[in-house]
Amino acid sequence: MLREIQQKIFSEKMIKESEILSLLKDIEEGKLKIEPTTVPLDVYSGNVIYNISNGWQITIFNDANTWDYIDNIKATDGREISFDEIDNILSLRNYEPSKKTCIDIYKIGI
């Protein structure tokens, strides 16, 4: 019983796959704007944190100025999803924006 309660609490605190896919689509389509907290080109290999116009935050791992993966996402209501959790969701593990999106929006790969 306690384990079921813990799992329920955990699942309610994690951002859902559908929310993340919608977020990524809105970023790609320009419905949501992102602003890096550092210059992405200055981060040769490491995390680049972006503040999103809806108040959320997304962290992308920039590997040699190339989009590698989503490291984590934080929602305004305190929910988060970490790399390990993202990596267990196939659609998110395999997500990669187009080269144009990487360059024009995320400013990675210029």
Structure confidence by residue, pLDDT tens digits, 25-44: 999 999 999 999 999 999 98
Section 31-59 average pLDDT:
96
pLDDT band per the 50, 70, 90 thresholds, residue 12: low
The whole-angstrom separation of Cα 21 and Cα 9 is 22
11-20, 33-42, 84-93: which has the minimum mean pLDDT?
11-20
Section 11-24 average pLDDT:
90
5-9, 49-53, 55-59, 73-77: which has the minimum mean pLDDT?
5-9
